[in-house]
Amino acid sequence: MSVRLTVEKLGVSYRGDGRETEVLKDVSFELRAGERLAIIGESGSGKSTLALAIAGLLPPGSRVDGDVRWPELERRPVNGRDLGFVFQDPSSSLNPVLTIGEQIAEVARAHLGRSWREAYEHAEMLLGRVHLPDPASALRAFPHQLSGGQRQRVAIAEAIAARPGLLIADEATSALDTIVQAEIVRLLEELVAEDGMSLLFISHDIALASQIADRIAVFRHGRLVEIGDAGQIVDAPREAYTKSLLAAHMGLDTPSLLAPEAVA
Ligand SMILES: Nc1ncnc2c1ncn2[C@@H]1O[C@H](COP(=O)(O)OP(=O)(O)OP(=O)(O)O)[C@@H](O)[C@H]1O
């Protein structure tokens, strides 16, 4: 499998109020084509900063050390074209005064060079792919006319409109109730498999991460503590911190994450 992304000794510091705060330190990993990698860690561990650094979206003035490379590309990656971003709050990527059709079609026009008519057809096809009921009517709807789960489906359709090689989902299901969350996770799995995209699934929820990811990377205080196959991380974590994350998940009322044979 070819390598889609190489993160090498990445460090990020934010600057403000005359101070510099280091939030990512010496982070290295590879993401292969078609691979689903979950990034997990507590709030403030640097997960979103990692996503922003990969997308080239860090605030101006941030200090970046190390490297993010895209071996398959011979040019700089273009946001929207080479990578799609889905955030926790779909309102941050959807424009409230444009119809759903206009927003998705605009991505197809900008990045795929489609005419408006072709771009609208493309948008309707994508709304079908994200399982929005009645895609033709949805094209004419405004974001506020949809439910939270439907808005997240639209945000996903927009993120994949230009067929990017990488989809970054940053806490994309955290604001949704459990049933809708499971549906969106299934949808992401389906789309990633169909399009051969790589997925960076950012979550504070190790149980959810283990459902969707091939591999899991555990972050703490801006450092990559442990990375491995999802099964290994959940069944046989090497680091004490990962064990404590798993233990914190295991409330008395929580079903075990471990496979039955591993418990026996
Ligand atoms: N623009 C910024 N300027 C200064 N500090 C920032 C900025 N953005 C984030 N931080 C700080 O960087 C650290 C890492 O934040 P980040 O959002 O990357 O963590 P996270 O793991 O994604 O957290 P969460 O799960 O709460 O979103 C935190 O201490 C945060 O307060």
d(CA 102, CA 123): 9
User: From first to last of its 264 residues, what are the pLDDT tens digits of the chain?
Assistant: 799 999 999 999 999 888 999 999 999 999 999 999 999 999 999 999 999 999 999 999 999 999 999 999 999 999 999 999 999 888 888 999 999 999 999 999 999 999 999 999 999 999 999 999 999 999 999 999 999 899 999 999 999 999 999 999 999 988 888 888 889 999 999 999 999 999 999 998 888 899 999 999 999 999 999 999 999 999 999 999 999 888 887 544 455 455 444 433
* Single-letter amino acid code for the residue at 30: E
- Counting atoms of ligand 1 from 1, which one is nearest the CA of 41? 21
Whether 23 lines ligand 1, by a CB cut-off of 6 Å, is: yes
**246 contact partners, CB below 8 Å, separation of at least 6:** 206, 234, 237, 257
Which of 10, 49, 92, 220 for a ligand 1 pocket mutation test, highest count of atoms within 8 Å of Cβ?
49
Helix (H) or strand (E) segment spanning residue 199: strand 198-203
Classified as helix, coil or strand, 49 is helix
Q: Closest Cα to atom 16, ligand 1: which residue? A: 46
Q: Closest Cα to atom 24, ligand 1: which residue? A: 43
Nearest alpha carbon to residue 50 among 174, 219, 188: 219
CA 48 / ligand 1 centre spacing (Å): 7
3-263 is a CATH 3.30.460.10 domain: no
Q: What's residue 260's pLDDT?
A: 44
pLDDT digits (tens, 9 = 90+) for 83-99: 999 998 888 889 999 99
Q: Closest Cα to atom 6, ligand 1: which residue? A: 14
pLDDT digits (tens, 9 = 90+) for 96-151: 999 999 999 999 999 999 999 999 999 999 999 999 999 999 999 999 999 989 99
- Counting atoms of ligand 1 from 1, which one is nearest the CA of 51? 18
Whether 13 lines ligand 1, by a CB cut-off of 6 Å, is: no
Classify the complex by whether its ipTM is higher than 0.90, answering yes or no.
yes
Whether 181 lines ligand 1, by a CB cut-off of 6 Å, is: no
Q: Closest Cα to atom 13, ligand 1: which residue? A: 44
CA 50 / ligand 1 centre spacing (Å): 10
- Counting atoms of ligand 1 from 1, which one is nearest the CA of 46? 18
Residue tagged 């990375």 (tokens): 227
Whether 43 lines ligand 1, by a CB cut-off of 6 Å, is: yes
Domain regions of the chain by residue span? 3-263
d(CA 113, CA 120): 12
β-partners of residue 59 are none
This prediction has a pTM of: 0.91
CA distances from 152 to 54, 89, 197, 215 (A): 22, 8, 18, 24
Pairing state of beta strands 36-41 and 198-203?
Answer: parallel
Whether 77 lines ligand 1, by a CB cut-off of 6 Å, is: no
